[in-house]
Amino acid sequence: MTRVLVDVLQGKPSPHTPIWLMRQAGRYLPEYRKLRMQVGGFLELCKTPEMAAEVTLQPLRRFDLDAAIVFSDILVIPDALGLDLYFAEGEGPNFNNPIRDEYDVNNLLDIDVQDSLQYVFDTLKLVRAELSPEKTLIGFSGSPFTLACYMLEGKSSRNYEIVKHWLYQKPEVLDILLTKLSDIITKYLSAQIIAGADVVQIFDSWGGILTPDAYVKYSFKYLQLIVDQLKMLHPNTPVICFTKGCAPYLDLYNELNCSAIGLDWTVSLSQARKQVTNKVLQGNLDPVILSAITSHSKLRNEIARIVNDYKDSNNGSLDGWVFNLGHGILPSANIDNVEYLVNTVHEITSR
Amino acid sequence: MTRVLVDVLQGKPSPHTPIWLMRQAGRYLPEYRKLRMQVGGFLELCKTPEMAAEVTLQPLRRFDLDAAIVFSDILVIPDALGLDLYFAEGEGPNFNNPIRDEYDVNNLLDIDVQDSLQYVFDTLKLVRAELSPEKTLIGFSGSPFTLACYMLEGKSSRNYEIVKHWLYQKPEVLDILLTKLSDIITKYLSAQIIAGADVVQIFDSWGGILTPDAYVKYSFKYLQLIVDQLKMLHPNTPVICFTKGCAPYLDLYNELNCSAIGLDWTVSLSQARKQVTNKVLQGNLDPVILSAITSHSKLRNEIARIVNDYKDSNNGSLDGWVFNLGHGILPSANIDNVEYLVNTVHEITSR
């Protein structure tokens, strides 16, 4: 059985450039909104494997995407650790019990990942059973630094003053937290692979808020820890690392032992190809384009621009690249644009 | 009369590394908050030269900063163009008349910059009369793209869907707007120089939200237009260009005809020095550090780290660098930290 996305991530040739979209199961789909209304809460949806599996498969029923990504949230880990995640209407995520001090760090629940996050593994199994065999199944987690940001700030933050206070004033306690999270994330991703994920992606959504010095010490170091462990446990499973704000770190990513680097839309694929010499690249259409463009021909121009930019920088070959957005798809994305995007990428990258 | 900041920006030697802070006149200062309360609105403060001059000078009375930057707002230009700027309590800026369509672009007021923004020039004259002669006076403007963002979105935006809609669907109308703004900004900065500004800075706060392709076409191109014009009009006045999200453009900045590049905190000075070979650099302490760090010794470590990073990448010399934050100072900045920062930079960079 050959899966195009897995093949490309393993450096093999492929009949076309594979495409999937971050947050492809979500609010821009009317069938998602309908199901979400029926269930009630977002978290309840994540925690109900039958529903989560259905939502995971929804975009695959509409579009010829090359992969499904399990419907879940990066904050299920902090939730399992006792922080009690909730989503207030119209707001981002919140915790009833954010971490306040060293005592809270040392008293995080000692969880059995297999047990506490069973619902995610069950969802993966249900999806794999229904998913066409040629489609790739992706599992994911937040990065240690990104999870720590949410756990310390208690919610989304503008300036991350609390995290940065810890970083400069209590680096050794932050290290305890990040090390603990790295261990849990490794186990979590490993269990997702065992449950059927062909590929896993680590979302480092907030690494980009750091200075380069702090990024290496508090984000990159723990990413490396996780990918090194996963490489030993599952040598054939590709790991993709995505950092929002990746531009300053393209050279550094050559040292990261993962298979692919996910790029946001602020760097060109050609620049990234020049700097990241030993990995597959993934990205990076500006997600706003799917909301802002209202003509197929203009959307096609943007797709072609990206395709040619990559090709020109890679000796005329499209190998070593996975098409994606540069960030999650927006709720305002036009569904017709999404369909046109998926079909056009397949068409113009056909070998 | 020698002014350390002007000297450094002109490539001359200096007794120490000059330091000023973006938004140094502002909410973290109790004397600012007091005056602001007395006056009422923020915009009223900007439009009253005696008050604006007083606020401009406040940080210089406390700290040994090398420059004053005129107290104003980048949105005074759209306000003068008839968009009617206001600040709702607890919110960011808003316009009563944002631009909605091509008609609005073509019907922007045809302003006489000298007349419409007289209050800014009056403020500069008042400040210069009071400012110590060895201190530099800085004028500023928003970049054309950044002003267009606000003018089209009507306020701060999360994803800039409206701007990006124009960018892909109506590029020729956006070009008319950006060209008009470039002309006005050039006149505005020129008039600030005539009124006493020794240096001007262009804030490209939102250029970093674009793809590299769009950045060149819709932000960089117009920055170049302005700096080229200013160079002809005022060949000896240094121009600093600051883009938030500058990391992808360091190589490109070699082509920009300004004197200095302002850096945000996500790139290292050494990386920037390696890539930007023909300009002074300005930056780039993470502004959150002034709120998050509570010990002088840790703050000193961070300052020393930046100083050494620059020095090591510049053949052991501290020439060609202006110390600043990587973004505006936060209202939560600790005043004692600010004082320690200014004094420490002078002390450890003393030649």
Tens of pLDDT along chain A (351 residues) come to 799 999 999 999 999 999 999 999 999 999 999 999 998 889 999 999 999 999 999 999 999 999 999 999 999 999 999 999 998 877 789 999 999 999 999 999 999 999 999 999 999 999 999 999 999 999 999 999 999 999 999 888 889 999 999 999 999 999 999 999 999 999 999 999 999 999 999 999 999 999 999 999 999 999 999 999 999 999 999 999 999 999 999 999 999 999 999 999 999 999 999 999 999 999 999 999 999 999 999 999 999 999 999 999 999 999 999 999 999 999 999 999 999 999 999 999 999
Q: How far is A182 from A143, CA to CA, in rounded Å?
A: 8
Decide if A292 and B169 are in contact by the 8 Å CB cutoff.
yes
The reported pLDDT for the residue numbered A162 is 96
pLDDT tens digit sequence for A54-101: 999 999 999 999 999 999 999 999 999 999 999 887 778 999 999 999
pLDDT tens digit sequence for B98-136: 999 999 999 999 999 999 999 999 999 999 999 999 999
Please confirm, yes or no, whether A128 is among the known catalytic residues.
no
**A216 near B CB under 8 A:** no
Q: Residue B55: phi, psi to the nearest 5?
A: -65, -40
Which residues touch B325 (CB under 8 Å, ≥6 apart)?
B21, B22, B265, B283, B284, B285, B286, B287, B290
Task: From A2, A233, A135, select the one nearest A10 (Cα to Cα).
Answer: A2
Tell me the β-bridge partners of B285: B325
The reported pLDDT for the residue numbered A145 is 98
Please confirm, yes or no, whether A73 is among the known catalytic residues.
yes
Please confirm, yes or no, whether B300 is among the known catalytic residues.
no
- Does residue A26 contact residue A329 with C-beta atoms inside 8 Å? yes
Closest-CA distance, B290 to chain A, in angstroms, reads 10
pLDDT tens digit sequence for B185-230: 999 999 999 999 999 999 999 999 999 999 999 999 999 999 999 9
Which residues touch A315 (CB under 8 Å, ≥6 apart)?
none
Q: How far is B270 from B257, CA to CA, in rounded Å?
A: 21
pLDDT tens digit sequence for B54-87: 999 999 999 999 999 999 999 999 999 999 999 8
Could you tell me the domains of chain A?
A: 4-348 (3.20.20.210)
Please confirm, yes or no, whether A305 is among the known catalytic residues.
no
Pairing of strands A136-142, A260-262: unpaired
Closest-CA distance, B115 to chain A, in angstroms, reads 37
pLDDT tens digit sequence for B24-57: 999 999 999 999 999 888 999 999 999 999 999 9
pLDDT tens digit sequence for B304-325: 999 999 999 999 999 999 999 9
Burial category of A10 from C-beta neighbours within 10 Å (exposed 0-12, middle 13-18, buried 19 and up): middle
Task: From A282, A276, A291, A292, select the one nearest A326 (Cα to Cα).
Answer: A282
The reported pLDDT for the residue numbered B40 is 81
The reported pLDDT for the residue numbered B285 is 98
Q: How far is B18 from B321, CA to CA, in rounded Å?
A: 8
Please confirm, yes or no, whether B27 is among the known catalytic residues.
yes
The reported pLDDT for the residue numbered B347 is 98
The reported pLDDT for the residue numbered A132 is 97
Decide if A212 and B267 are in contact by the 8 Å CB cutoff.
yes
The reported pLDDT for the residue numbered B54 is 98
The reported pLDDT for the residue numbered A344 is 98
Q: How far is A203 from A177, CA to CA, in rounded Å?
A: 18
One-letter identity of residue B215: Y
Decide if A165 and B302 are in contact by the 8 Å CB cutoff.
no
The reported pLDDT for the residue numbered B303 is 98
The reported pLDDT for the residue numbered B269 is 98
Residue of chain A nearest B309, judged by CA positions? A213
pTM above 0.90, yes or no: yes
Decide if B211 and A266 are in contact by the 8 Å CB cutoff.
yes
